[in-house]
Structure 1
Amino acid sequence: MKLHKYILALVIGVSASSCNDFLDLKPISEETTANAYNKLSQIEAALTGTYESFQSDAYVWNNVQFQDVRSDNHYAGGDNPFFYEVDYLDISATNEKVYQSWSNIYNAVLKANIVLERIHDVTDPLLTEERKNEIIGEALFLRAFHYYNLVNLYGGVPLVLQVTNSTDASKVNIPRSTATEVFAQVITDLEESSQLLPDTYGSDANVNKARATAGAAWALLAKAYAQKPNPDYAKVLECIEELDKSAANYRLIDYTHLFDGAHFNNDESILEAQWIAGSDGNWGPQMLLPPSISGDDWRKFVTPSQDLIAAFDSEGDDIRKNASVLMENVSWIDEYYGIDQPSDDNPLPNNVAFAYKWKNASGWSSADRQYFLRYGDIVLLKAEALNETGQLGLAADEVDRIRTRVNLPKLTPEQKSSKEVLKMRILKERRLELAQEAQRWDDLVRYDVVVQTMNDLVEIDLRNNTPIDYNMTESKILLPIPQQELDRNPELVQNP
């Protein structure tokens, strides 16, 4: 897919091509990396190039594949064999999406490192000390964001914290750090960025939701403290307390407004992609939406699972279900929803579920956004942290905030009767709240139920009327290190 420009309202927009090599030093703006960045316009352009990584396949598409399709939320759909590997938990080191995410995200790390290094070369008097600190904070946040995703996908990965312009194998062939070390770096970067970044850049939400803010740093820091190998839930609560103090005034809004395509950069959004319909639009919705919306009739990708729909139905959760899933008759055969061939009497026999949090295809160039961080996620994370620290009543109150806004009753005494019971309720609430938002696999791993969940999952392949055997094991929790990287870097060791 072609890379579209990522438009930021207050940052100078300079086109930047994505490069796939781990240590590729191609320009990230119209300036070359060989030149010193001595003008404010040059470093702002470099920063814009850093944000543009949010439009790479890793964050438009593969994140949903590796979080929702890999889990119990969605099927692969479509016809891509690499996606079927993800769906059936049989992912090879040569899977092109495994390599694509690795290379896209490391390319984003490189861009952030260039900004962090070259900001100190700028002698332009137009660069104030305040703006310099903001730029450093933004770059630190972005590097942390990318490493947070890398460590969750692959486990311990090489920590590249400086721009590398050497061809010396001893300098470019970097061994893997441990997951604990990577999370420590993520936390270090976020703690520093939280002190450098403002709550807002003014009154324009189109800017405040497009760029890293102190609120974004506190939100991601809370997630990192929860997701790391030895979670620190007291720190999670401290970070969320700081987030709630933000002058950005994050709050829950009407759930249907989150995904209707008419309330971008809303009060619940902490950080979201800034797609512009037209030449710089989001191509993802065309891949998911049904014929009545997309205008084409080929089999679509990332279809909601029968198990996810049953989870919505078991709660009577019509509001979130209708915001997340759309059923439509189609002419193609689907192994989970129908295998009948169309006939003259019944030209559209199969009623198939479609992912619906993106709602506008717009001919491969939609304005529909992705939330990278939103407050609803953080409210449920707060509930999780309160529960883990023994504050069950307060934890239930946070869950009820999420439930009552979609017209569901508050938790019953039985549903919050113990720490373990409430923990599982929170996990289910996260599933219903965040489906198709690239959160589910990380949640299952953090709750230590991913193996059990996938092995207990009953999904029937209608072609032979037998259940799918996912054969989930601990060794499948992480993605394999891409074979291309193992071949290039002998210091790397494959995951189990």
Structure 2
Amino acid sequence: MKNLKQYIMISLVAGSLVSCNDELDIKPISEETAASAYATGPQIQAALTGVYESFQSSDYYIWDRVIYQDVRSDNHYAGGDNPEIYQFDRIDITPTNGRIYGMWGNVYNAISKANVVLENAPLVENRITEEEREQILGQAYFLRAYHYFTLVKNFGDVPLYLEFISTTDPSVTRKPRASVNEVYTQIIADLEEALTRLPDDYGNDASVNKARATKGAANALLAKVYAQMPVPDYNKVLEHTNAVINSPAGYTLLANYAELFDGNHYNNSESILEIQFLGGDEGNWAPQMQLPPSISGDSWRKFVTPSKDLVAAFDAEGDNIRKNATVLFEKVSWIDEYWGNAPNSSVAFAYKWKNASAWASADNEYLLRLADIILLKAEALNELGQTDQAVELINIIRNRVELEPFTVGETASQNTVRNAILKERRLELAQEAKRWDDLIRYNKAIEVMNSVDDIDLSTGQPVKYSVTEKDLLLPIPQNEIDRNPNLTQNPGY
């Protein structure tokens, strides 16, 4: 199986799954239709495929997650000319920003699809084995947890919808926000349910094993959840990172870092979960938005450009291998307020996706990969006082890109190792939608962003980010508050 979409039954999905922009705009579905729509194994498998398809059709998962994580941080600029993306760049995001409204709707839509599967899979009796049923449920639990993790990290308290909504009754649709702790408790419960049902793999086809949730993916996500929650549980992080590293699935680092992103080595041994794209009608349009004219074939100003601060971080470390895999410089005809205030200036371009293919790229996107989990294990070891073992893991990641191992003096204390891990994660995972989460987890977002030394060349003035506690969460979309009087706004907005 090269693509999960081959399982989609168009009429079934169109008739049975939620197709609205948010969880509040839902048309009733009759019990008779629901009962007949999910009567067989292939039908419930098609519904599950619809949940995965949210990764491939959602603006947030295709592209905006990099805006939320890298543009919002010190890794990238907005580029382009979209005022809503500039709000993320300057960390001045308003409740009326259409991108947060779109993301809210995209993610809740995916959750609703997962709820369809979770409710109906236990009822299916025809053309399904118990093993298939358990695997379908495990994947649906994983996917619901993944999407709620996306929401809670960005918005804090969010409504919990754990059943498919087949009514427009406001008493059902207009839920208040559940607390952060309640949401994390549900995420962990879902992932524990997933772990009991998911296999280590689905056979020998890597394009299946990296496209579907597995035990490795569930353990990896649990590790990230336990690290990111308000009070991290680093013993649990260690438990679940070890489960990934020692998995029978046999995850291993690729020897050549550049091969992760050359377009020819997706679904590799380092990958745990990827968004799959085949190109053509099932292509990824995000690379066209970012790659320079020599690759994209067009001449308009591109989005999500690497920051001077990120490039300086690569240069300070002598990290040419990861820099060359992540950043490409090219002279352009337009004016860039950071890289060159005159035509024909050399501008940095995001380069981890390398094939534009006229809006139909076959470049996949990593959601989870082993290097991230190894560095997360190092973080857990360091926070648990096992600093020497943490440094050993950092040096494994550095060795791959031909950097010298850290010396004892460079990692003399828990705090210096903590900073070393944060830096290593930045260089390893730039443009992979991880940076803002890292800054939040390390309690560094305000300090780091207010220390960035950017000059707007169009004015010659320093850029003042002025990040405060309020900016650590996004505003709840204003149109959702207008629809649902039980929703409250985050402080400061």
Task: Bin the TM-score by the shorter chain.
Answer: over 0.9
Counterpart of 2:406 in structure 1 is: 411
Paired residues for 1:271-420 under 5 Å: 271-340=273-342, 342=343, 349-420=344-415
Q: Report the Cα distance in structure 2 between the residues aligned to 1:24 and 1:247, rounded to whole angstroms.
A: 43
Contact 1:324 1:356 in 2 (8 A): yes
In structure 2, give the amino acid aligned to 1:325: V
Displacement after TM superposition at 1:298 (Å): 0.3
Deviations 1:288-312 (A, max 9, x none): 0000000000000000000000000
Aligned partner letter, 1:81: P
CA distance in 2 between partners of 1:165 and 1:13 (Å): 21
Matched with 1:190 is 191
| Offset from partner CA, 1:13-37 (integer Å, 9 cap, x none) | 3345653121455699xx9647451
Report if the CA contact (8 A) 2:270-2:369 is conserved: yes
| 1:424 partnered with 2:419 | yes
How many angstroms does 1:58 deviate by? Answer: 1.1
Mind listing any 5+ residue stretches in structure 1 that lack a counterpart?
1-5, 343-348
- Root-mean-square deviation (CA), in Å? 1.6
The equivalences for 1:117-196 within 5 A come to 117-124=119-126, 126-196=127-197
What is the CA distance between 1:143 and its match in structure 2? Answer: 0.1
Query: Do the aligned partners of 1:36 and 1:121 also contact (CA within 8 Å) in 2?
Result: no
Contact map agreement 1:36 1:118 (CA 8 A) in 2: no
Question: C-alpha distance in 1, partners of 2:245/2:354?
Answer: 30
Q: Is the 8 A contact 1:23 1:107 kept in 2?
A: no
Higher helix share: 2
Counterpart secondary structure, 1:352 = strand
- Equivalent residue runs for 1:200-279 within 5 Å: 200-253=201-254, 254-279=256-281
Matched to 1:144, the amino acid is A
Contact 2:245 2:370 in 1 (8 A): no
Deviation at 1:245, TM superposition (A): 2.9
Contact 1:14 1:49 in 2 (8 A): no
| CA–CA distance in structure 1, aligned partners of residues 28 and 350 of structure 2 | 37
In 1, distance between residues paired with 2:400 and 2:264?
19
In 1, Cα distance between equivalents of 2:340 and 2:104: 36
SS at match of 2:269: coil
Q: Do 1:69 and 1:302's aligned partners in 2 also have CA atoms closer than 8 Å?
A: yes
CA contact (8 A) 1:383 1:394 kept: yes
1:487 alignment partner AA? D
176-185 or 110-119: which moved more? 176-185
Matched, 1:83 2:65: no
SS in 1 for 2:489: coil
Q: One-letter code of the match for 2:439?
A: L
What does the per-residue CA deviation read over 1:106-161, in whole Å, with 9 as the maximum and x for residues that have no partner? 0000000000001122120x211111100000000000000011001111100110
Is 34-43 or 172-181 further displaced after alignment?
34-43
Counterpart-to-counterpart distance in 1, 2:432 and 2:284: 15
Cα separation, 2, equivalents of 1:408 and 1:142 = 36
Runs of 4+ in 1 over 2 A off after TM superposition: 13-19, 23-28, 31-36
Give the match's secondary structure for 1:492.
coil
Q: In the alignment, residue 91 of structure 2 is paired with which amino acid?
A: L
What does residue 8 of structure 1 align with?
A: 4
TM-score (norm 1): 0.95
Q: Distance in 2 between matches of 1:112 and 1:27?
A: 17
Point out where structure 2 has 5 or more consecutive residues left out of the alignment.
Answer: none
Distance 2:328 2:119 in 1: 47
| TM-score, normalised relative to structure 2 | 0.95
Distance in 2, Cα, partners of 1:384 & 1:437: 19
Q: Aligned to 2:95, what secondary structure does the other structure show?
A: coil
- Cα deviation, 1:221-244, whole Å, max 9, x if unaligned, reads 000000000100000011112222
CA shift in 2, pair 1:27/1:326, >3 Å: farther
> Structure 2 matches for 1:59-74, cutoff 5 A?
59-74=61-76
Structure 2: how far apart are the matches of 1:212 and 1:306?
36
Query: What SS does the corresponding residue of 2:289 show, helix, strand or coil?
Result: helix
SS, match of residue 76 in structure 1: strand
Q: 1:116 to 1:281 in 2, by over 3 A?
A: same
Deviates more, 1:241-250 or 1:139-148: 241-250
Q: How far does residue 166 in structure 1 lie from its aligned partner after superposition?
A: 2.1
Partner of 1:120, secondary structure, is helix
The aligned residue for residue 450 of structure 2 is: 455
Name 1:99's counterpart in structure 2. Answer: 101
Secondary structure at 2:4 match in 1: coil
Identity of aligned residues (%): 59
Please state how far the C-alpha of 1:402 moved relative to its aligned partner: 0.3
Contact in 2 for aligned 1:27/1:33 (Cα 8 Å) = no
- The count of corresponding residues between Structure 1 and Structure 2 is 480
Between the aligned partners of 1:236 and 1:140, the Cα distance in structure 2 is: 20
1:24–1:107 Cα contact (<8 Å) kept: no
Amino acid at match of 1:72: D
Change (3 A) 1:34 1:300: farther
Question: Compared with structure 1, are the counterparts of its residues 209 and 264 closer, same or farther at alpha carbon in structure 2 (3 Å cutoff)?
Answer: same
Equivalent residues of 2:263, 2:363 under 8 A apart? yes
Name the CA distance, whole Å, in 2 between partners of 1:450 and 1:199.
36
Greater Cα offset, 179-188 or 391-400? 179-188
| CA contact 1:7–1:13 (8 Å) conserved in 2 | no
Amino acid of the structure 2 residue aligned with 1:179: V
> Do residues 478 (structure 1) and 480 (structure 2) align?
no
